[in-house]
Structure 1
């Protein structure tokens, strides 16, 4: 009986007819009156009732279960004028559309208009639609909601962008449209900054905490007023601006890396490390002794599961009748990451040119990253025509790295078969500190009845990299088979040599920018003339000191404690004449002129940029060393034209052509030689800059304020691309940068965003095909039975380019309950990560999916709880040579196939972060 009554009640409620009264729905939208952007989170309230609707992602709202009658209503949203009125609900219900105006405030005869919040997704779509060129924008709210805590991981959410990851699996550098990191540059608030990296001009994006950003802008087609050294794209990090009202934001989070739930973390004592080498700390004539080298940083130990920590704080306000605005924001992150991997050193069979295993390494990596950022921005509104901005930022990343691996040699001592041979145990410790300081003073001034706009910038930046006392400890042992057929482990011996290496690098920029924009009416149409100039003086210094400690006596059985062993210092003076002790300078002077013509729905931007580069270097290498000093002077004339046509208000057709360059990295032209990583490296003082011609076409449709459809085609002709490739010099295989002829790169991008009420989907797909033809060596045995080789041309993609990359993100947002959920999957297709001198022996990273999850829930006034999970699928990095190992596949039978030979396999596992965010 009770069940029957309940069934009747549910039926009545579902039919909307209770005791003969029919209930209705009120639907509609709330948008900005000026540009129709949806005001997500606005409320439509029926006064004196508990009935209301909250505006969803697409600007729509719904009020359910409304009885017939006449009501007064209130429509409200922060910083907008509240609307009130009356409505009548009859049998068919209502559909209403509200357009809210931004509010105004009168203060001491100064009229201010409430500023748009440029941190929202609506503003990001408006920027993409109205931009003079091809851009993609990620807004602060999307960054905040994403699973990412660094800028590097955020940028992978942009169409056409994939990531190059660090040894711990975290994103580090961006690859834009298949173009490696060297072909892109980074801006902070529109200003180029120097790189703290020793080897690259490009700034590592993992150094920047993502919560300092207002938005991230990726530009893929350059206009003449942009610096011309980007072939892939430009990544502009717009830091938080001074607000129009008092704000206070705080963030605290705790988390862990799943890899440490199964194993302890490898660590050592980094406090004993001296930033400067004995030579640098005590003067050029100092003779070091063994006592100058502590052993705490190579006294490896294990610790339990560490806790990841994230802290953030931002505070800002306006003063003096809103003429002065100040914001200060800081972020501090302590993250523990790790990796477990197999790494195979390869050789190439002289019989058939196929790869085979030389050694196999079982690696274990533990890192501790302490990432911090502090930025302060002040703006002074002198009056409505003149404004001064002063920006200062300090970004810092300390990376404490420990690695242990067992290296089994598959040829030395291998005569007794699988399971025997020489084994070395290797331990590395490294404490790298990178910092970027930037100070920028900018002015904006309006003259001549607001027709002339002048802006200028004075910039000082300093990037530093301290990589002190990197040390590798090596132990040697082996395994044999005795007369009884049993495996016998040989004694563990201390390797006789212990190298201690210091590297310190500074990259200083002093720059000035000036731009003038004049706007006029030309036969009833808009005509802009813009001209400007830029000068930058860059000074980069690098110091390198390496000391060799030799065991005394040479043969010592490992005791298990580094402090129980004795050493002699082989070179007490260090290596002051190594070429990696160098200073380089670069002066870039650029000027440009451009014009913008706009008539109805058509706009054209065209102009010319001229950049003159004067680059020189001097090393401490021997006087007879080729390339010890060098100089490059060249001038580049870079034309561009950008066309946009609007068939209708929410549609764009864009066509762009521009020329651009990419300069060699400073480190690459130094004639150094070093053996620290997987291959011996060598510089190339004869490198030339890369030049490119670029064509872009993009169709853009914005059917809703948050919805978009973008379809793009691009083509690049690249002269003298630079890639680091393995070359053969005598019997040695060396990693060296070189220019490689001419390459072509073309592709297709599809970018879709669609919202329906509280649900949204964001997806992109990029197809890229680059081709470069180079000469390779093919080994074989000829008809006479002799081992020989010949050169063959091989066509391959550019290093780092994936043919297919995509992102699919599902979103749920409920403004009423304060719930946000995001699930994102990123696909990266196979790509070359190492170029071999041998035919078809390049190393390819396999394609992979990475899935990330994040969620937020409002738990109180201004307080939000959040959860971020990265690498849900525990996606490994796997790399292979696309040829079979026909010589010794038994060394790794479970990972070999008939067509590929595995080279690397790395597992990083998941990372979790849970926290609270407060916004006033």
Structure 2
């Protein structure tokens, strides 16, 4: 045990010893209104100035030093304050359910509106939170067309999302790299099966219907996971309600790109049994949609020696996806209250995401003067399953304990039917020589875009012209011959088993102490980049090989035109829309006998095992903190968290040497241990009942990605300089000192205006670095992740949520939500240039115009993310950084209440058909641009029991 953990143990022991002799009374209860539990309600004893707030299930615990007659006040945003006079006995006093009434001025809105109850919950939780955080409640998530967990959180101030083929799949806080944001499920780090080894969890497998609350913490407290340089996003799954509920929804829709239908449905049931002791919550959701994308991609000759020619074009690619996505989710919540002091709960989650992608790829290869056509059939699958068992126990009038054990498992894999005994993604590659050459080459014989060309020859990306000297020499199925077959393999899985215990001790009327421990055991395995490769002997010039087979001789099917091909670009590209082989034909090509018949030989790389690893990571964490009411208005939260990490990874080292080259493999194991001591201080000053000022200093960190730690190593002695690629077990965690100053004012008519500034000083930023060195007269090129830089990040954010109910009549239903975040950062990957942090946009904003009145709700939402650097090429410099361009999407929704229980709705996504663009260095030097159309659906929601 480390010295820091020993200190925490002594604090905890002192807390427990103090509790034995403690003399105080406990008041417990649950605050509700007509719609259910109220989280974030304030419970105050005015005489003693002691207060508490309700948890996410509406429950509260309030300690008092007195017995006899005591007056308490219960208040909640948008509700009348309730005054209760109690006769307090020694020990635990259970008040049962305390029901509040909506205030008269909001009653009409509450009855007929659709967003106010949800906003009251979110704002109440935010107002009473110890951390600096924003909150979304389930009802609000359902009021915009946000169908997975990442899309649900994109509306939060300071949050940015990454989009993959039109759907958000990852989120980050305050513009930091995605792996620097901690993704939590019910307070524990969610395991990640990210294919590239990042610790950032992919969220497209989680239907938004499974989520009850989302808490976005921008300055964490010691009782939260500490690996959160950007912040943390905590998804809280549904729990049992205070009364029976049953609601269903069903919808059908249309995708303008795929010209196909979509559907989704959900059911939520909750109830209480055995005189309210047993609570049950069941939720299920399904979302099935056809989708499509056109992607124009460009690869550049960055490996050439000449600095100018590094910007020349190697290949252009017109790629079409036309697939199907299926999301299934199930959520179980159980809780059982034994008595007023003891409660246990169980949460379970089962999610599955299938991404079926037939892909059609047409290349122009300028370096080899040829066409290339690929057809592949991908079946990506993501599984997220888990369960958590926990309990809450009032051990004495002053001491409360809670505990939980959990097991969450996620897997991301390819399981296309076995081809030649190997599961993976089958790809068939056809090639056709361009005999006439190109007319748009530059003076140095290379193809450029016009602005890069030494003599201005080359044209523009989005009015692409292949530049054939012979315009009739187009792609031809009779000339495209099968020359390569590949099975790409991918299988990444991670499982976290966690146990935790927390104690909270009421030391005095103004001081609460809290301490706890958490232990997490992680098992992880990864396989990515291991491809089985088969090449045609005739294409390699091997004598007596069977003739190459043309595409026209195979079983084929129609190309999915679906209303046009690359309509987002200027020009006609139908000549690249080649009818592909059938799925069955693709699979049959990998049959052993067929491979032999067509003259294919196995050229699978001997270094494939270096892409496979497995290992474990163990984290022992402890914390101690104090919540101090320094004055009636000032609250201080101070404490420290310590996380000790050990990991061990097993992999393979490959060495290629000799003439002819021979590759030898050997097992290798790496391990490392490191500690993170994280002090934190929060100040919360209540100017009045409606306004808070918050300040915080926190220290947080982020662990290195597994892909950077992998023990896999390859050395190729046949190259000059000798090429070495390997992981780096000596990587240090990235640490950040974070400073926050925020202010918030809560409107009486359920709204908020907030703003503030923040600063992060970041140490040991990790980059993948390539550099040459000489050892004993031999030259080497090493590619490896390293701690090579420190960084800083500064920003400001502001937002308003305001109902314009001061307007007359019809216009009183109008309202606005707007939030804006400005972020600037600097990192110096080498001594010669600087950059912003990866994934960081300088400008983020959300704008929502809404109308709610008499059962009608309409919302139009815009989401903007400014340009962000995605990869930093430390060897070549800023001209070769890749950027995601600015992106602005517009979504809309409308709901009409037909009866108090039945609502019909319409949801529309990406109304402006905003493309997603990536470029290298210069905005005009496109690396990819994709279009995925608009989509929408209409449906019905029925609160059968509410």
Q: Which structure 2 residues correspond to residues 112-191 of structure 1 after superposition, within 5 A? A: 112-114=97-99, 120-166=118-164, 168-191=165-188
Q: Which structure 2 residues correspond to residues 636-785 of structure 1 after superposition, within 5 A? A: 636-672=676-712, 684-686=727-729, 687-723=731-767, 737-757=785-805, 758-775=813-830
Alpha carbons of structure 1 residues 509 and 881: separation in structure 2 relative to 1, 3 Å: closer
Give how far 1:351 is off: 5.1
Contact 1:725 1:738 in 2 (8 A): yes
Secondary structure of the residue aligned to 1:205 is coil
Secondary structure of the residue aligned to 1:647 is strand
Alignment partner of 1:235 out of 203, 214, 233: 233
Q: Distance in 2 between matches of 1:254 and 1:755?
A: 31
1:102-133: CA deviation from partner (whole Å, max 9, x where unpaired): 999xxxx9943349999721011011111101
Residue number in structure 1 paired with 2:838: 799
Secondary structure of the residue aligned to 2:175 is coil
Q: Distance in 1 between matches of 2:372 and 2:621?
A: 54
Secondary structure of the residue aligned to 1:196 is coil
Residue number in structure 2 paired with 1:196: 193
Alpha carbons of structure 1 residues 573 and 425: separation in structure 2 relative to 1, 3 Å: closer
Give how far 1:735 is off: 8.6
Give how far 1:529 is off: 0.8
Residue number in structure 1 paired with 2:399: 452
Gap regions ≥5 residues in structure 2: 1-28, 37-57, 59-77, 86-93, 103-115, 416-423, 438-467, 538-545, 556-580, 656-663, 715-722, 806-812
Give how far 1:174 is off: 0.8
Contact 2:749 2:803 in 1 (8 A): no
Contact 1:38 1:706 in 2 (8 A): no
1:63-120: CA deviation from partner (whole Å, max 9, x where unpaired): xxxxxxxxxxxxxxxx9xxxxxxxxxxxxxxxxx99375999xxxx994334999972
Residue number in structure 2 paired with 1:539: 523
Alpha carbons of structure 1 residues 732 and 494: separation in structure 2 relative to 1, 3 Å: farther
Secondary structure of the residue aligned to 2:301 is strand
Secondary structure of the residue aligned to 1:120 is helix
Alpha carbons of structure 1 residues 859 and 673: separation in structure 2 relative to 1, 3 Å: farther
More deviation, 656-665/680-689 = 680-689
1:306-352: CA deviation from partner (whole Å, max 9, x where unpaired): x2111111111000110110011111111222211211112358255
Secondary structure of the residue aligned to 2:121 is helix
Residue number in structure 1 paired with 2:447: none
Contact 2:157 2:797 in 1 (8 A): yes
Contact 2:624 2:639 in 1 (8 A): yes
Q: Distance in 2 between matches of 1:663 and 1:870?
A: 36
TM-score normalized by the length of structure 1: 0.74
Alpha carbons of structure 1 residues 209 and 736: separation in structure 2 relative to 1, 3 Å: farther
Contact 1:119 1:214 in 2 (8 A): no
Q: Which structure 2 residues correspond to residues 501-650 of structure 1 after superposition, within 5 A? A: 501-521=488-508, 525-542=509-526, 546-551=531-536, 553=546, 555-558=548-551, 559-561=553-555, 563=585, 566-568=594-596, 570-571=601-602, 578-598=609-629, 599-622=631-654, 628-650=668-690
Alpha carbons of structure 1 residues 221 and 627: separation in structure 2 relative to 1, 3 Å: farther
Alpha carbons of structure 1 residues 905 and 466: separation in structure 2 relative to 1, 3 Å: closer
Contact 1:547 1:570 in 2 (8 A): no
Residue number in structure 2 paired with 1:840: 878
Q: Distance in 2 between matches of 1:619 and 1:460?
A: 25
Residue number in structure 1 paired with 2:911: 872
Alignment partner of 2:279 out of 325, 332, 338: 325
Give how far 1:650 is off: 1.2
1:130-183: CA deviation from partner (whole Å, max 9, x where unpaired): 1101000011111010121111111110011111111x1210111211111100
Contact 1:388 1:443 in 2 (8 A): yes
Give how far 1:717 is off: 1.4
Give how far 1:728 is off: 8.7
1:475 aligns with 2:514: no
Secondary structure of the residue aligned to 1:122 is helix
Contact 1:259 1:909 in 2 (8 A): yes
1:788-843: CA deviation from partner (whole Å, max 9, x where unpaired): xxxx71111011110011111011111x3x21111001111111123233222212
Give how far 1:618 is off: 0.6
Q: Distance in 2 between matches of 1:475 and 1:811?
A: 53
Give how far 1:429 is off: 2.2
Residue number in structure 1 paired with 2:253: 255
Q: Which structure 2 residues correspond to residues 487-498 of structure 1 after superposition, within 5 A? A: 487-489=472-474, 491-498=478-485
Q: Which structure 2 residues correspond to residues 360-371 of structure 1 after superposition, within 5 A? A: 360-371=316-327
Q: Distance in 2 between matches of 1:903 and 1:737?
A: 24
Q: Distance in 1 between matches of 2:676 and 2:916?
A: 40
1:452-503: CA deviation from partner (whole Å, max 9, x where unpaired): 1101111122222222311221111133449996633575343433122333
Contact 1:550 1:567 in 2 (8 A): no
Give how far 1:209 is off: 0.6
Residue number in structure 2 paired with 1:70: none
Aligned residues: 734
Residue number in structure 2 paired with 1:358: 314
TM-score normalized by the length of structure 2: 0.72
Contact 1:481 1:487 in 2 (8 A): no
Gap regions ≥5 residues in structure 1: 1-33, 42-78, 80-96, 262-304, 414-421, 675-679, 776-791, 884-898
Q: Distance in 1 between matches of 2:752 and 2:724?
A: 46
More deviation, 802-811/347-356 = 347-356
Secondary structure of the residue aligned to 1:688 is coil
Residue number in structure 2 paired with 1:781: none
Q: Distance in 2 between matches of 1:367 and 1:665?
A: 31
Q: Distance in 2 between matches of 1:658 and 1:354?
A: 44
Residue number in structure 2 paired with 1:811: 850
- What root-mean-square deviation, in Å, do the aligned CA atoms of Structure 1 and Structure 2 show? 3.4
More deviation, 140-149/566-575 = 566-575
Alpha carbons of structure 1 residues 98 and 223: separation in structure 2 relative to 1, 3 Å: closer
Q: Distance in 1 between matches of 2:469 and 2:902?
A: 71
Alpha carbons of structure 1 residues 197 and 867: separation in structure 2 relative to 1, 3 Å: same
Q: Distance in 2 between matches of 1:716 and 1:220?
A: 11
Give how far 1:504 is off: 2.7
Residue number in structure 2 paired with 1:904: 928
Alpha carbons of structure 1 residues 766 and 111: separation in structure 2 relative to 1, 3 Å: closer
Residue number in structure 2 paired with 1:782: none
Q: Distance in 1 between matches of 2:469 and 2:239?
A: 76
Alpha carbons of structure 1 residues 699 and 40: separation in structure 2 relative to 1, 3 Å: farther
Give how far 1:406 is off: 1.0
Secondary structure of the residue aligned to 1:534 is strand
Alpha carbons of structure 1 residues 902 and 485: separation in structure 2 relative to 1, 3 Å: closer
Secondary structure of the residue aligned to 2:732 is coil
1:499 aligns with 2:486: yes
Alpha carbons of structure 1 residues 577 and 169: separation in structure 2 relative to 1, 3 Å: closer
Contact 1:156 1:163 in 2 (8 A): yes
Give how far 1:387 is off: 0.9
Secondary structure of the residue aligned to 1:668 is helix
Alpha carbons of structure 1 residues 682 and 178: separation in structure 2 relative to 1, 3 Å: farther
Alpha carbons of structure 1 residues 772 and 151: separation in structure 2 relative to 1, 3 Å: same
Q: Which structure 2 residues correspond to residues 289-300 of structure 1 after superposition, within 5 A? A: none
Alignment partner of 1:439 out of 364, 383, 387: 387
Q: Distance in 2 between matches of 1:443 and 1:360?
A: 58
